[in-house]
Structure formats: structure tokens, C-alpha cells
Amino acid sequence: MALSLLAFPRAPVRSMPRKVTFSPARYRRKIWELENFDVSRDGRLLAYAANKGEQYAVYVKDLKTGRERALAKSSEAMLNPEFSPDGTRIAMQADFEGDENADVYVVPTKGGAVRRITDHPKDDASPRWSPDGRRIAFISNRWEDKENVFVVDAEGGEPRQLTFSEDIVVEIAWRPDGRAIAFQTGTGNLDGIHVVDLDGHVETLVSSPDAEAELVDEFGGGWGHAHPWSPDGRELVFSSNVHDHGDVGVLEIATRRVRWIVEGPRDKAMPVWSPDGSRIAFLEHRDGNVVLKTADPRGRGLRVVSPAKGLASHPRWHPDGKGLLYQHSTSVQPTRLLLQRGGARKVLVDCARVKLPRDEFAEGRFVAYTSFDGRKIPAMLFLPKTSRSRGAALVEPHGGPEWQVMNEWDTNTQFMVAQGFAMLFPNYRGSTGWGRAYRHRSNRDLGGADMKDIIAGGRWLLKKGICEPGRLGILGVSYGGYSVAHCMIQAPDLWAVGASIVGYFDWFTACKDERGSLRHYDRWKMGDVDLEIDHFRRYSPRFSMDKIRAPLLFTGGAHDPRCPVGEARQMFADMKSAGKTVEYLEFPDEGHRPRKMTNKIKEIETVLAWLGRFLPDPTS
């Protein structure tokens, strides 16, 4: 693990108040958000999902003329577009107000009526066209609340279930001949790769009793669709941490032999095969940055494609095999969708729609600090310019927990920096990006040593003089929201304020009410909640909330299937009854975080106001 040996000045506080230009009301709608994209097989059209100021919709852009138009808009989020092989139709998914029980839709590429292909109360997601365009495969939990592979006729009808896996299917990819589908099972826990034919016969291709093998990214970001097959269907590319750090391997289907084409001490993920079979692209993690690289199928001729700094994601070969599309951002550069051919880089979509006040931004620095047991914890640090600092800092543990914070654009982070807050994002034990051993170091201890890592980050900020005692806050989302409660319980005197965004606080109720894939993950990661009562009670913040001293804000989404809204409601009610200083914000029309821009603005404005109330700007 590389360390940054940086010297930090004592926390400066500006003597004169300065106007903050970069505010949610003024800029939030002017910075688009990108989701997945696809390219038509002739390379002419780009389809992508984006929130351009209201809600996620699907857009089609002519890459030759540059003209684009909205293809499908709704009050609900339209996501995951994919062209049919002949380019005449696009499949996509949409759910109801963030409940993650999506259905599959098809719309003509030239525009027209949107046709609903599936209609079921459970989740039908990730639509993938068969190579002949006659069928659509998708992932659904309609069987016993467990994600599996289904296929439906492209014109509609009753779907057919192909797999009955007790594990969780997280990605699918048709074999080029259309006679079978590769799929990945697991949620970061002994992930494996399998193949199922259209008669439902399943074979395991890659698995290990003590490692993960994956088609999609190991970093935890959900960065695009898998394209693992060689053009002739004889080989399949994947990543695995069987050597601790994720390496890229190629499986020969007939013999089941694996050759490792890219190995080394950095985690690699999301390998995608070029249409002409000559190159394989993949992502490589470098201490908070993720770069896009390519190699030939034997691992020779290694090339770096993306910039060295920032986050490259969603790799996708151009259909002619001579270029790569990918998304890229840095902590000070909003996301762009790029097309790269050799050394030439073309911007296809730029999320920054106006000139931004970059003098109010802070560039993230990769740092590392020492935790309670001597372990080095990697982190990203943001320091506002001296003229803007309010002498206060925030620690923000990420969600997941198997995820990481990298050198990427996050609008809300820069809103907070513009308000004068320094920010530290710890990649505590259990995070991705630093090998399998580090990723699984928090197994059966979610809320234990990983919380001590986060608390150590707060104390490091004080030791470095980045903020003074009494000027430190904590906020987090999802597992980060759970972490906020734990940290405020375990170190009550450290924090001046907290904000728990869509968190959970009681393992017993959370496991009862969350969707099946998360129950599966929690059982593997933590144990059996029905049998290990004392174990799960010890890790449930709700039963120790009396130790929390600092003011705490909760938020929730009424349709959240991941951290059910009852968690935040109950914790808020318990703390309010106990006389604690608490507030609660709920979105009745959202799930796990807002998707609608109006709600996004309301959330960040509420959080900023809450933090500013207890960590005020001394010059205001």
C-alpha cells in the first residue's frame, strides 16, 4: 500500500465571510448524472440513461451528426438501455419510485410507443437481447426472492426461468451463438461464473472455495455490462482474487483451462473482449484512481487508455473494435462519456453543462493513517482552500460495506467543500480495491473493527490540526449511515454532529424486511440472525443509542428495499423519546436515495443546513 506523506497546516479559518457560489439550488440541475449506455451494432447510435435535471431518462445520440433526443421519459427512472442486434429497438427497465422491482420495456429506436414486456410485482432487471434479437434475457427475483436468469420472447409473453440458483445471480451475458448465457453468482462472497443453455442445463465454469471470480467489477460500483465472450465463443474472460489481488484470466471453455493474462499487486476488474477478438480491456485500481488498460488475449502489448488520474468505468468496445467508450471523472471534473481511438479522445457526453466555479472545489488526495491496531487505512482527503475553510471537518464512511471511495466526481462532496468543510473518506477494512484479504477482514464484524478505523480517521484529522476539537462531524449513506450511529456510540465525545442517510440500525428488523439478495449477503457476511441473537444484538446500534450525545439527522426513502424505511423511523422515534436532539427527513416517492432531482436538492440542502447549524461558520 503506497502512502502519501503530506504535511497539513493547522486548520485555517478565513477572517472575512465569502459568498458561496457553488450551491445546490444554483448548480445541482446543471450537472447531469450518467448511468449505463450502449452502442448500436453499426456504431452509428449511442443510447444512454441520464438524469438531466428531472429524472433518469433514455436518450439516443447520432454519433455522426451529433444530434440527440429523448427516447423515453417518465416520472420513474428509465435505466439500462440496450440496442437490439438490428438496431431498431431498445430494451430498458423502470421501477416504481425506487422500489427496485423493475419491469422490462422495449421502444423503437426512432421513437414511438413504449411496450411493456414484463409485468410482475418482483424485480425484472438487466435486460439483454439474444444475438438473433428474438429473445430478451433478464435477472429476476420472482422465484423465492432469489435473483435468477429468465428469458422472454422479445414480443412479450410468459417468461421462462432458466436457473434455480440458491445463490444470487448478479450479471448475465449471451454466448455469441445465442445458445447459452454466462452468468455470475454471489454478492462478493465466493462469487462464481456459470453457463446455462436454453433448456436450463447449468455448468459451473469458474469457482473457488476461498476466492471470488467475477464478470463485472470487483470494486463494487456496478460499472457497466459484461462482455466476456471471445467472438467465437470458445473462451471467456473474467477477473478473480484467487491470488488475493484481482487478476484477469481467460477460460478455454472446452478444456476448462485458465491462463492468467494480467497479474500483479493491483486489483483488476471488468474485463471486456473486443469484437474482433484482438484485445481485452479491463480496469485497474491504483491507490484511489482507476485506469482503463488493454492487452492482447495472451496478456502481451499492455497499453494504458485512460488518464492516470481519476476514475475510468463502464468500458465498452466500439463495434468496429478500434476504439473504446468509457466514462471518466476526477474529484474536480464531472463525469464525461469518452470515445478513444489511439491517442485521440472525443467527448460524447459532458455532464458539466455550465462553467463551474472551480476555485471553490478541492481536489481529493490519497492519504493513509494508522488505525487502533497499527493497520494503515487508505483514505481520500479533501481540504477547502484557506480562504474558504471554516475550521471544521467531516468524516464520511462509504456504503457497501464492500465498496471504496476513489478519485471521482461527487457533486455533494464539492457542495460541502464549497461551504468550507474539510472531508475525509476512509476506506476502512472490508473495502474493495486492496485485495481479497482486506475485503474480507470485516467478516462477522460489521460494526466492530471497521468502526474503529473510521473513528481513527476522525482522530487523525484532529491530530493533524485539520480541525479543532468540537468541530468534527460525521455523515454516511446506507452502510455508511449504519456506521454513523455506531461511531457516535463508540466515540460519543468525538463528534459535534451526525447525519445518517438511509441507514439501518437493528439487524433483526433489517434482515426481516430487506430484499432477499441482501438477506443472503448478510447471512454469509455476518451469520444467522435467527440463531445468533447475542451476536446481532451487540452489533445493532438501536440497543445502544442512549450513548449518542451529538445531534443526529436521519433520512429515509419510503420504498427502500435495501435499508427499509422502518429502520430510520424507529431510530428517530426512540432517540426523540429519549430526549436526544434529532431530526428526520423522509421521501415518500423514493427508494434507496433520491433519483428525482427535486428530492436530491432537498436532501443535500437539508444535510448542509443541519451540519451548518452545529458546525457554524465563525465568520457568518
Average pLDDT over residues 29-45: 97
pLDDT value at residue 437 = 96
Global model pTM greater than 0.85: yes
434, 427 Cβ separation under 8 angstroms? yes
Closest CA to 146 of 119, 183, 173: 183
Residue located via cell numbers 426513502: 557
Calpha distance 97→75 (Å, rounded) = 8
Single-letter amino acid code for the residue at 5: L
Tens-digit pLDDT profile for residues 60-100 = 999 999 999 999 889 999 999 999 999 999 999 999 999 99
Residue 16 has pLDDT above 90, yes or no: no
Average pLDDT over residues 397-415: 96
31-161: what fold? Neuraminidase (2.120.10)
Residue 46 has pLDDT above 70, yes or no: yes
Residue 343, Cβ neighbours under 10 Å: how many?
6
113, 90 Cβ separation under 8 angstroms? no
Residue 466 has pLDDT above 70, yes or no: yes
Residue 15 has pLDDT above 60, yes or no: no
Calpha distance 239→264 (Å, rounded) = 12
Average pLDDT over residues 210-233: 87
Cα→Cα distances 350→92, 285, 328, 329, 339, Å: 22, 24, 10, 10, 12
Residue 8 has pLDDT above 60, yes or no: no
The H or E element containing residue 170 is: strand 169-174
Calpha distance 34→433 (Å, rounded) = 23
The H or E element containing residue 495 is: none
Cα→Cα distances 609→416, 498, 499, 553, Å: 11, 12, 11, 11
Nine-digit cell at 280? 481485452
Calpha distance 402→246 (Å, rounded) = 14
pLDDT value at residue 569 = 98
| Dihedral sign computed on CA atoms, order 506, 511, 517, 523 | positive
pLDDT value at residue 7 = 54
Nine-digit cell at 196? 446455462
Tens-digit pLDDT profile for residues 350-392 = 999 999 999 999 999 999 999 999 999 999 999 998 888 999 9
Nine-digit cell at 550? 451529538
pLDDT value at residue 1 = 41
Least confident piece of the model among 14-18, 109-113, 191-195, 229-233: 14-18
pLDDT value at residue 13 = 54
Calpha distance 298→302 (Å, rounded) = 10
Tens-digit pLDDT profile for residues 290-302 = 999 999 999 999 9
Output the furthest CA–CA distance in the chain (Å, rounded): 73
At 334, give phi and psi (nearest 5°).
-55, 160
- Cα of first residue to Cα of last residue in the chain, in angstroms, is 41
Closest CA to 145 of 519, 478, 506, 504: 519
Residue located via cell numbers 481519476: 310
pLDDT value at residue 187 = 86
Answer CATH for 357-614 from 3.40.50.1820, 3.90.226.10, 3.40.640.10, 3.40.50.2300: 3.40.50.1820
310, 408 Cβ separation under 8 angstroms? yes
Average pLDDT over residues 485-510: 98
Average pLDDT over residues 159-167: 97
Single-letter amino acid code for the residue at 410: D
178, 165 Cβ separation under 8 angstroms? no
Calpha distance 501→396 (Å, rounded) = 11
Average pLDDT over residues 335-347: 95
Does the 216-356 domain belong in CATH 3.30.1360.120? no
Q: Residue 343 — very low, low, confident or very high, per pLDDT cuts 50/70/90?
A: confident
Residue 25 burial (CB < 10 Å; 0-12/13-18/19+)?
Answer: exposed
Residue 600 has pLDDT above 70, yes or no: yes
Which residues, 6+ apart, have CB-to-CB distance to 248 below 8 Å? 237, 238, 239, 260, 261, 262, 263, 268, 271, 280, 282, 295, 299
Q: What share of the chain is helix, strand, coil (3-state, %, to 5)?
A: 20, 35, 45
Residues of the chain with CATH 2.120.10.30: 31-161, 216-356
Strand partners, 46: 39, 61
227, 316 Cβ separation under 8 angstroms? yes
pLDDT value at residue 363 = 97
Q: What is the mean pLDDT of the chain?
A: 95
Q: Residue 598 — very low, low, confident or very high, per pLDDT cuts 50/70/90?
A: very high
> Strand 324-330 and strand 344-350: pairing?
unpaired
194, 182 Cβ separation under 8 angstroms? yes
pLDDT value at residue 10 = 58
Q: What is the 3-state secondary structure (H, E, C) of 105-120?
A: EEEECCCCCCEECCCC
pLDDT value at residue 11 = 58
Residue 170 has pLDDT above 80, yes or no: yes
pLDDT value at residue 4 = 39
Nine-digit cell at 7? 504535511
Q: 409-443: b or e for each residue (b if 16 or more CB lie within 10 Å)?
A: bbbbbbbbbbbbbbbbbbbbbbbbbbbbebbbbbe
Residue located via cell numbers 471470488: 212
The separation between CA 216 and the C-alpha centre of its own chain, rounded to angstroms, equals 12
Residue 2 has pLDDT above 60, yes or no: no
Nine-digit cell at 617? 461558520
At 394, give phi and psi (nearest 5°).
-130, 135
Tens-digit pLDDT profile for residues 532-589 = 999 999 999 999 999 999 999 999 999 999 999 999 999 999 999 999 999 999 999 9
Q: Residue 3 — very low, low, confident or very high, per pLDDT cuts 50/70/90?
A: very low
Calpha distance 285→465 (Å, rounded) = 30
